[in-house]
Amino acid sequence: MTASGSKEAIRIVGVVGAGQMGNGIAHVAALSGLEVVLTDLRAEALTQALATIGKNLDRQVQKGAVTEADRMAALGRIRTTAETSALGPCDIVIEAATEREEIKTTILKGLIPHLKPDAIIATNTSSISITRLAAVTDRPHQVIGMHFMNPVPVMKLVEVIRGIATDDATFGAVQQLAERMGKIVALAEDYPAFIVNRILVPMINEAAFALMEGVGSVAAIDTAMKLGTNQPMGPLELGDFIGLDTCLAIMRVLQGGMGDSKYRPCPLLVKYVEAGWLGRKTKRGFYDYRGETPLATR
């Protein structure tokens, strides 16, 4: 802390989880001039993350958004490791694991022995209570939600969510960090699914109900929403992009947290998840992605 009560500027960022969100967060942090420690228990995930970051940076160079020198410098700022202890020097650690509360709480508890006392803990949760996650740590006042949108290098928004104990210094430091990464902050209250997913995922769930009830086919529903509401993706296509397991998890958080039957997950959505048809990442969801062109599964 400085004498004024605000935190020193963040210089080293830790990211826990090298999946789609984690590697995207590492990408934008490194590109903004920050040192990054990217951790994952799986060595293959770290290898894949570096390959993805390199490919995405190449694409930015080709588009003229990033110089070759900036690309090389960004890659040089990212260190990968399976060791949680390597997060010790970090000013902030951003948890970007699977959207399951028990996984996140286990990770947060495991971080504590390795972090310096003034380190901030941020979680990239898209729906889970920040207050509840903060309560398992030794520093609830330094825990905050930092919900990036997918794909992180492209999407400008970061939802910042304060838990009931989050202090002003932590919020100020995280807002400054997000802006340094080139993001625009929307401040959300700590209620289930926050702003974006509180509105978006029930729409995807309702599209699944419309499909189950025969209101329209997959293609008809997505075409109607794209052309009728000027959205770049239809809701079923977007559900596949997000991951149907993630959509279902968010609906269950909403149903449990709000206690309202309007958040009941669609049985057809549940069936797709039970089948392992989770969308693009498993090559099948509302669309089948195993061929050259996605084909509707209904």
According to the model, what pLDDT value does residue 121 have? Answer: 98
* 21 labeled part of a ligand binding site: yes
* 91 labeled part of a ligand binding site: no
Annotated catalytic, 127?
no
Cα gap 70→72, rounded to integer Å: 5
Q: Which residues partner with 147 through β-bridges? A: 159
Catalytic residue among 126, 127, 129, 205: 126
* 271 labeled part of a ligand binding site: no
Annotated catalytic, 85?
no
Question: Contact, 109 vs 133, CB < 8 A?
Answer: no
According to the model, what pLDDT value does residue 7 have? Answer: 56
Catalytic residue among 56, 95, 127, 159: 159
Strand 12-16, strand 92-95: pairing: parallel
* 104 labeled part of a ligand binding site: yes
Cα gap 149→254, rounded to integer Å: 19
pTM: 0.89
Annotated catalytic, 114?
no
According to the model, what pLDDT value does residue 105 have? Answer: 97
**Phi and psi at residue 256, to the nearest 5°:** -70, -40
Give 10-residue mean pLDDT values along the chain (298 residues): 53 96 97 97 95 96 96 97 96 94 96 96 96 97 97 96 97 97 97 96 98 98 98 97 94 95 97 98 97 95
- Give 267-273's long-range contacts (Cβ < 8 A, gap of 24+): 267/212, 268/208, 268/209, 268/211, 268/212, 269/205, 269/208, 269/239, 269/244, 272/244, 273/244, 273/245, 273/248
Strand 157-162, strand 143-148: pairing: antiparallel
* 124 labeled part of a ligand binding site: no
